[in-house]
A and B are shown apart, each in its own frame.
Chain A
Amino acid sequence: MAQPPLSQRIQRLERELGVRLFERTSRQVRLTEAGALLLTRARELLARSEEFLATAHRIRDGETGLLRAALPPDLSGETVAALLADFDRRHDLAAPELELHELSTAQQLARFASRDLDVGLIHHPCDITGLELGPVLRRDLGVLLPPGAPAADLTEVPLASLTGHDLILFPRTDAPALYDDLLTTCARNGYTPPAVRHAQGASFVRGLVLSAGAVALTPRDTVTAPDLVWRSLAGAPLAWRHSVAWPKGRGSTAVTAFADAATHALRGTAGAAPDVPTRPLHLRPASEYWL
């Protein structure tokens, strides 16, 4: 700091405190006794303030304090429980408090953008700009059928054999790209449902399957209704593809612990397996780029 503004600041401080801090002679400037006493206290205050700011930053970075995490609504109770138990085991040293929310992929992305979420389990495909990802895991989807449906007699159900049944799906706003992708894949495999009914809660879905002859797509591990039939789909054309995600550059030991726990829980309780793109992809001329 330049000399004149520094002298002005000191004088202002002395006026504010009503205490003379320095003795000024023509040749030198010396700390007064009062000044020396206050200096020790001032240093303590500064140290406390720095510690306060550092704690705030650590909380922001998820190293201690709060880890704001989210899971999608379509996990089984076993997976959620396994994840939480495993997270506690992995992280009891730094012991951050876990603030866990049940949020759709779209809600999680919005909260990542507004910095209100530290880590979450998302569904692909979604807009992953600005995110870092854990491994992508795949949970194959099967179909929930009413007991009398002809397809219930098959061990593996081809999607085309669901023709005529309405399809029960989550609301599109939860994960728009996934919603569109599921319907495209159904169409690609010969199943275009006459109507799509939006439902999410297990009992509501069950009611629709039992009474309206509609079918739902769901992984085996989340099936709870004993009076419905679950069958895997021939050729496993449909899957949930999950990964843990967090904002780029904001990983921390707590985030890593959550990511590891989620990956472990999905593999252990939901039969999730690493996802490798296998379908051929033909670029058309309008793509403009070429590999």
Chain B
Amino acid sequence: MTDALGRVRAAFAEAGVTGWLHAVDIDTGAQLDAGADQPVCTASVHKLCLLVTLHELADTGDLDLTEQVDCPPLGRTPGPTGLAAMRDPVRMSLRDLAYLMTAVSDNTAADLLLGRVGLDAVNRTTARLGLTRTHAVHTFGELLATLRQDAGPGGARILTDPHVLTRLRALDPARTNRSTPRDMTRLLSAVWRDEACAPEHAAAVRRLLGLQVWPHRLASGFPFDDVHVAGKTGTLPTLRNEVGVVEYPDGGRYAVAVFTRTANPAATLPAADSVIGTTARLAVEALRART
């Protein structure tokens, strides 16, 4: 394990990132801890908490996942994917919004769901599951608004200015939606063990996480057709995260949470994305070697 920890740290350094990782064997509880209790900004990883909350409320009968929601073109939370990028009025069910939010990290879909369940419900769910260091303080629209306010005019390129980076509230875990790697593997373990909500709803959550489209982070570390990867990413200037579960055909299943921060503020840094997969693989292999 010490060797694996060293290799994880070396991989982070090689990729030019500071990284925090927690990996757990969901069935034995064996773990690898490389900064598991570091407070981190969740960014879009918090959509996982919202997804679980939504299914918990469906469980208790507080809402019906087939309930229809109107999404007018005006006032949408901005984003590069899904409804956030579309132009025309849309009407769809809560569960389809959940699909878009999870599969392509659709910010508009996420805020429509938040509008239905409320931020407090999300915090109640994470607290109920024992995630004591996980907290949401704003919606995704509000998060992006702090980014715009703190960055000022100048467009995306201004986000490479070191002075601008030091003043972004969105990059300070004390002032934005936050968690720790250990809290996130705890949440994933609960979902995979049917403890977070009823089995049929837990299965729906697992299905949606398995439909997430991005191949460049966690999934990139497991280029094996017989290994299943499900997860949720999160991204902000200098931050790249993914939390997910890796399942092997022999029944081994591992919850992994990786949060990174790059020294380079450039938006396109493939090495920083793939190191999430690289380190997750190192951790999972270390856990598998123990059994």
Bound form: Cα–Cα A284–B171 in Å: 20
- Cβ contacts under 8 Å, B161 to chain A: 136, 277
Chain B min CB distance to A166 (Å): 22
B279 is an interface residue with CB less than 8 A from chain A: no
Question: Which chain A residues (197-251) contact chain B, with CB distance < 8 Å?
Answer: 243
B80→A285 contact, CB < 8 A: yes
Contact of A133 with B18 in the complex, beta carbons under 8 Å = no
Asked whether, in the complex, the Cβ of B235 is within 8 Å of the Cβ of A286, the reply is yes
For the complex formed, measure the closest distance between the CB of A11 and the CB atoms of chain B, giving whole angstroms: 46
The reply on B75 being an interface residue by CB < 8 A is no
Docked pose: A132 CA to B80 CA in angstroms: 32
Tally of A interface residues using CB under 8 Å: 31
Indicate if the CB atoms of B162 and A124 lie closer than 8 Å: yes
In the complex, what's the smallest C-beta–C-beta distance from A66 to chain B, in angstroms? 26
Q: How far is the CA of A291 from the CA of B162 in the complex (A)?
A: 18
Chain A residues closer than 8 Å to B214, beta-carbon distance: 286
A125 to B81, CA, bound (A): 29
Assess whether A6 is interfacial by the CB under 8 Å rule: no
Q: Bits for A270-291, please: 1 = Cβ < 8 Å to B, else 0.
A: 0000000111111111111111
- B156 and A283 contacting across the interface, CB-CB below 8 Å: yes
User: Is there an interface contact between A125 and B80, defined as CB atoms closer than 8 Å?
Assistant: no
A residues near B171, Cβ cutoff 8 Å:
129
B156 and A177 within 8 A (CB): no
Asked if A290 and B264 sit within 8 Å, CB to CB, the answer is no
CA distance A136 to B166 in the complex (A): 13
The answer to whether B157 and A277 touch across the interface, beta carbons within 8 angstroms, is yes
Q: Which chain A residues (22-43) contact chain B, with CB distance < 8 Å?
A: none
Q: Is A176 an interface residue (CB 8 A)?
A: yes
In the assembled complex, which residues on chain A have CB atoms less than 8 Å from the CB atom of B105?
288
Which residue of chain A has its CB nearest to the CB of B233?
A: A288
* Cross-chain contact A133 with B166 (CB below 8 angstroms): yes
Given A180-B264, A281-B157, are A289 and B235 neighbors across the interface (CB < 8 Å)? yes
Q: Which of B112-120, B131-139, B147-155, B244-252 is the interface stretch? A: B147-155
B147 to A289, Cβ gap below 8 A? yes
Interfacial chain A residues near B154, Cβ < 8 Å:
277
- B239-279 contact mask (Cβ, 8 Å, vs A): 1 or 0: 00000000000000000000001111111100101000000
> Which one of A176, A243, A281 contacts B263 once the chains associate, using CB atoms below 8 Å?
A176
Contact B144 A285 (CB under 8 A): no
Nearest CB of A to B163, in Å: 6
For B, the interface residue count at a CB cutoff of 8 angstroms equals 47
Q: Do A284 and B148 touch (CB < 8 A)? A: no
| A286–B216 CA distance with the chains assembled, in angstroms | 9
Which B residues are CB-close (under 8 A) to A289?
43, 79, 144, 147, 235-237
Find chain B residues with CB under 8 A from A94 CB.
none
Instruction: Check if B68 is an interface residue, CB within 8 A of chain A.
Output: no
Q: Let me know if A290 and B79 touch, CB within 8 A.
A: yes
Q: Within 8 Å of chain B (Cβ to Cβ): is A127?
A: yes
B90 within 8 A of A: no
A192 to chain B, nearest CB (A): 16
Residues of B within 8 A of A290 (CB): 78-80, 84, 107, 144
Give Cα distance in the complex from A50 to B235, angstroms. 49
Determine whether A98 belongs to the interface, using a CB cutoff of 8 Å to chain B: no
Q: Which residue of B lies closest to A130 (CB)?
A: B166
Known: A133-B166, A286-B214, A291-B151. A181 touches B235 (CB 8 A): no
B16: Cβ under 8 A from any A Cβ: yes
Contact B80 A283 (CB under 8 A): yes
| Contacting pair A128 B235 (CB below 8 A) | no
Partner of B267 from A124, A176, A177, A283 at Cβ < 8 Å: A283
Given contacts A127-B263, A290-B78, 11 further A-B contacts (CB under 8 A): A125-B266, A127-B261, A128-B162, A128-B165, A129-B18, A176-B13, A180-B16, A184-B266, A288-B80, A289-B237, A291-B148
Q: Which 7 A-B pairs have the closest CB atoms?
A: A177-B263, A281-B157, A288-B235, A285-B80, A177-B264, A127-B263, A125-B264
